[in-house]
Amino acid sequence: MTDAVQDAGAEGADEPPALTDGIHLVVDALKLNDVETLYGVVGIPITDLARLAQASGIRYIGFRHESDAGHAAAAAGFLTQKPGICLTVSAPGFLNGLVALANATTNCFPMVQISGSSEQHLVDLQRGDYEEMDQLAAARPFVKAAYRVHRAEDIGRGIARAIRTAVSGRPGGVYLDIPAAVLGEVIDAEQGAESLWRLVDPAPRQVPQAEAVDRAIDLLAGAERPLVVLGKGAAYSQADEQIREFVETTGIPYLPMSMAKGLLPDDHPQSASTARSLALRRADVVMLVGARLNWLLGHGEAPQWNPQATFIQVDIAATEMDSNQPIAAPLVGDVASVMEALAERSKPGRINAPAAWREELAERSAQNVAKMAGRLKAAETAQPMKFLGALQAIRDVLHENPRAYVVNEGANALDLARNTIGMQVPRHRLDSGTWGVMGIGMGYAIAAAVETGDPVVAIEGDSAFGFSGMEIEAICRYDLPIVTVVLNNSGVYRGDDPSASDDPAPTALKARHDLMIQAFGGKGYQATTPAEVATALREALASGRPALIDCVIDPTDGTESGNIAHLNPKGITVQR
Ligand code: ADP
């Protein structure tokens, strides 16, 4: 039954019928489908929707910028397997949120962006309305699906459709356009209540075919150098036990992609992370589990990969197969069902990774770890502080706090933290993802704290932090247990680029981020040594309150990623 706009009051034949409106129907439909949290920025025409949602028991988290609200919704989707819901206003607010919705789609995170929009009869004739935009058309190229509701009686249908599309099959972003006129439309309360429904089994399991499973088992059983690559689809699937059991009973070495770290603890003896290059170059049968063979894996090409490698791919999306390399054994299904079937049909002990291969990787790992040890040791005492000095301090404190979620973005801050900081628990690392995007930091951190109640440590490059930095106000407003650690080397990539003019260099930045958070009532620290970083982080985590540690990093430390000089391999000088 919906909350009626106008109650029927006392019984009587001539009493007017109870009424409801679009806003109430949206809230009721969301509640009916167990939506507990909305992430958004209020304004015309959704302010009352946010108010009503909050009054009805849905938690509303208000942001300063729609991209951040959207990134929070996307991370909530990844963590919970339920679409995170983002609420935006028309045109500019919608477009800001769309960045996050597109990013969620790219990352295969379930998310729904619900946006108010202006009068369709004005928009479609381009008559010039307040915040006029054909949002449905604008959203379409960037999302899994885009829907618009034209009548209040279709709100329940629209929300059901949006949720199921976001979460079933390959998860992704869905846009739901609800024009202001529909939000305000008044209809009979009983008719409204009857128009809503609760989804049954929104993300059904997808069980693989037995012969597809056997095909993969035959390849793995015959491999000399098998390798499993775990991606964030594997993390998303929450098939932690099935994955662990398969890896451990077969003895196959595995490589976790960054957001799959922690599915098995990073110090697991079968982890090939510290012999990654050798593993890719030598593996003869590779099983990708919820990981695409995209740029993050060099498209499966030589010389990074063994050109003779045979690929098995576990993915819920059949169309992902063969996107880069021929897939000899496509295993279409959800990771949990596929891993269960693999374990079951490979009994008893049909797959056993050869010991020689495991030893080869272990030997290379030991060499690489020894090589790295010198660099890490030097960084412990270097002054000014290096990235690796600060990161080792953070690593040690995180080790004492395995429940803490790690959010990580930046250039050097991302690359170095990923390798330095081991994860022990599944789905506890959220990062720049498939696009390698900057700006997810505070949104992801807020979602992790809101959805789980656990502490969050956001490890941010100083440039990356700037994209969503204003959200530390939201963090303080909601008093969330988030510690933001800014690795501040005063620039994009590094802080010592010379300038070719009187202005700062294009890469230069300058900020005391610890002072920013104080303005909002949070605790700010400045740390210039690894010991200071560790002390501040320990104290901040123990307090369970918002804090920011500005780590002063040597401006000469850092390398530029993605420099395009290699596209001009002959080094031809271009005249100005
Ligand atoms: P990574 O960047 O960690 O390598 P990707 O984002 O490239 O991971 O790949 C994730 C893949 O996982 C996508 O192709 C997606 O279709 C797939 N996927 C997502 N959820 C599931 C699931 N429950 N079962 C199987 N595959 C899934």
What are the pLDDT digits (tens) for 514-528? 999 999 999 999 999
Ligand 1, atom nearest to 433 Cα: 2
Ligand 1, atom nearest to 257 Cα: 3
Q: Tell me the best of 82, 103, 108 to mutate to test the pocket of ligand 1, counting ligand atoms within 8 Å of each CB and taking the most.
A: 108
CATH topology of domain 19-194: Rossmann fold (3.40.50)
Closest CA to 347 of 207, 209, 213: 213
What is the band of 561 on the pLDDT scale with cuts at 50, 70, 90? confident
Atom 18 (ligand 1) nearest CA:
233
Residue 10 has pLDDT above 70, yes or no: no
Cβ of residue 316 lying under 6 Å from some atom of ligand 1:
yes
What is the band of 193 on the pLDDT scale with cuts at 50, 70, 90? very high
Ligand 1, atom nearest to 297 Cα: 4
How close is the Cα of 168 to the center of ligand 1, in Å? 13
Cβ of residue 250 lying under 6 Å from some atom of ligand 1:
no
Please determine whether the domains at 19-194 and 381-566 fall in the same fold group of CATH.
yes
pLDDT given at position 571? 75
Residues 6+ apart with CB under 8 A from 171: 77, 83, 108, 109, 110, 203, 236
Cβ of residue 46 lying under 6 Å from some atom of ligand 1:
no
How close is the Cα of 223 to the center of ligand 1, in Å? 24
pLDDT given at position 107? 98
pLDDT given at position 291? 98
How close is the Cα of 268 to the center of ligand 1, in Å? 22
How close is the Cα of 209 to the center of ligand 1, in Å? 19
As its CATH architecture, domain 381-566 has 3-Layer(aba) Sandwich (3.40)
pLDDT given at position 566? 73
Cβ of residue 330 lying under 6 Å from some atom of ligand 1:
no
Q: CA–CA separation, 168 vs 205, rounded Å?
A: 9
Cβ of residue 235 lying under 6 Å from some atom of ligand 1:
no
Using CA atoms, how far residue 14 sits from 10, 11, 188, 192, 316, in Å, is: 10, 9, 15, 21, 56
What is the band of 551 on the pLDDT scale with cuts at 50, 70, 90? very high
Q: Which residue has the tokens 């929707």?
A: 49
How close is the Cα of 395 to the center of ligand 1, in Å? 27
Atom 6 (ligand 1) nearest CA:
107
Please tell me the CATH code under which domain 210-362 is placed: 3.40.50.1220
**Higher-confidence position of 14 and 418:** 418
If DSSP codes are grouped into helix, strand and coil, which group holds residue 554? coil
Q: Tell me the best of 258, 288, 315 to mutate to test the pocket of ligand 1, counting ligand atoms within 8 Å of each CB and taking the most.
A: 315
Residue 2 has pLDDT above 50, yes or no: no
Residue 4 has pLDDT above 60, yes or no: no
How close is the Cα of 388 to the center of ligand 1, in Å? 31
Query: What single-letter amino acid sits at 186?
Result: V
Query: Which range (54-68, 296-310, 420-434, 558-572) has the least confidence?
Result: 558-572
Q: Domain locations in the chain?
A: 19-194, 210-362, 381-566
What is the band of 12 on the pLDDT scale with cuts at 50, 70, 90? low
Ligand 1, atom nearest to 320 Cα: 14
DSSP code string of 492-525? SS-S-PPPSSSSPPTTB----HHHHHHTTT-EEE
pLDDT given at position 574? 74
Cβ of residue 193 lying under 6 Å from some atom of ligand 1:
no
What are the pLDDT digits (tens) for 116-160? 999 999 999 999 999 999 999 999 999 999 999 999 999 999 999
What is the band of 276 on the pLDDT scale with cuts at 50, 70, 90? very high
Ligand 1, atom nearest to 290 Cα: 12
| The two three-digit tokens of residue 327, written as one number | 């897939």
Closest CA to 410 of 463, 456, 446, 457: 463
Average pLDDT over residues 426-453: 98
Cβ of residue 164 lying under 6 Å from some atom of ligand 1:
no
What are the pLDDT digits (tens) for 69-93? 999 999 999 999 999 999 999 999 9
Residue 565 has pLDDT above 90, yes or no: no
Cβ of residue 296 lying under 6 Å from some atom of ligand 1:
yes
The verdict on pTM exceeding 0.85 is yes
Cβ of residue 243 lying under 6 Å from some atom of ligand 1:
no
